[in-house]
Amino acid sequence: MLLLPFRATEPGPTATDAPGRRAHTGRTHCGEDRLTKLVPSRPECETGAMTDLGEPIHRADPHEVSVHAKLNWLRAGVLGANDGIVSVAALVVGVAAAANDVGPILIAGVAAVVAGAISMGLGEYVSVSSQRDTERALIAKERWELETMPQQELAELAGLYRAKGLTHETAEAVARELTAHDALAAHLETELHINQDDVASPWHAAGASALAFLAGAVLPMLAILLPPPEWRIATTFVAVIVALAITGWLSAWIGGSPKPRAILRVTIGGGLALVVTWAIGGLLGVAV
């Protein structure tokens, strides 16, 4: 339930009031103010302020959005590492099943690592660039509308809050206060669900995706190259399954989903990819 800030008329202290209660008589209702993110914080509601009942006020964390963005980047990194593990491992296992010589395995593995990292980085760059361009265009359009038709935009914002269930008077008051505080931010968040301070960088996204792929690809390369020939494939299978279980656990932890299901899903998928390429490599090796 969303509440508007208000200043209630409080009775004066009585003989039955507790000392702690009397000490806070006359404070504004900061606690009620902070029940909604729609209302900007007031100076008297800064850190250390107390409600009328002497309870500390819980303020909205100004870094909530940035923390959420960081979690999204972490999730993307885990998925990128997972791609590096599965794709490179599947390729080198297939080559190892066809040939015992380490030369072809090394060449195929290095080519897969480089090509995969470039592909991941380029794909992420194109995707994030398109998203950023769209968001920038929407921000510019909203800024122009606020400059040329402020009253219509105010009415639109109030209508959005009425659609969320607020009364006409409450929606009007909230829209006016938010418009006075930061009209553009209010419209972007409520109407378009955009935070103008969190527009992603395509270069950062591309670099993070490529590095995540490289980090994941290192494991199968080491697992296939370091052991003796008779242990290469088995070692790679074990290393990949363990690594996938870890990435599955991390992705479930980040997303708040059940961990056993995520681990089972990713390990079965990765194991199936290894079995298929191993079988294909074995068949082609025999044929050659």
Residue 35: inside a domain: no
Whether residue 119 lies inside any domain: the answer is: yes
pTM, two decimals, is 0.66
Residue 84 has what pLDDT?
A: 94
Residues of the chain with pLDDT under 50: 1-53, 55-65, 287-288
Q: How many angstroms separate the CA atoms of 223 and 239, rounded?
A: 7
Q: Is 26 inside any structural domain?
A: no
Query: What are 2-34's pLDDT values in tens digits?
Result: 444 444 444 444 444 444 433 333 334 444 443
> For residue 24, what pLDDT is reported?
39
Q: Who contacts 106 (Cβ-Cβ below 8 Å, separation ≥6)?
A: 225
Check residue 29 and give its pLDDT.
42
Is 234 part of a structural domain of the chain? yes
Helix, strand, coil percent values for the chain (each to nearest 5): 75, 0, 25
Task: Look at the chain and report how many structural domains it folds into.
Answer: 1
pLDDT for 70 = 60
The separation between CA 246 and the C-alpha centre of its own chain, rounded to angstroms, equals 19
What pLDDT is recorded for position 131?
A: 87
110 located within any domain = yes
The pLDDT of residue 100 is: 84
Phi, then psi, of 112 in degrees rounded to 5: -65, -40
Tell me how far the alpha carbon of residue 62 is from its chain's centroid.
16
- Residue 88: which of 256, 273, 238 has the closest Cα? 273
Looking at the domain assignment, is residue 48 inside a domain? no
Mean pLDDT computed over every residue of the chain: 78
Residue 122 resides in a domain: yes
Q: Which domain holds residue 255?
A: 76-286
61: alpha, beta or left, given left = phi > 0 and alpha = psi -120 to 50? beta
Residue 60 within any structural domain of the chain:
no
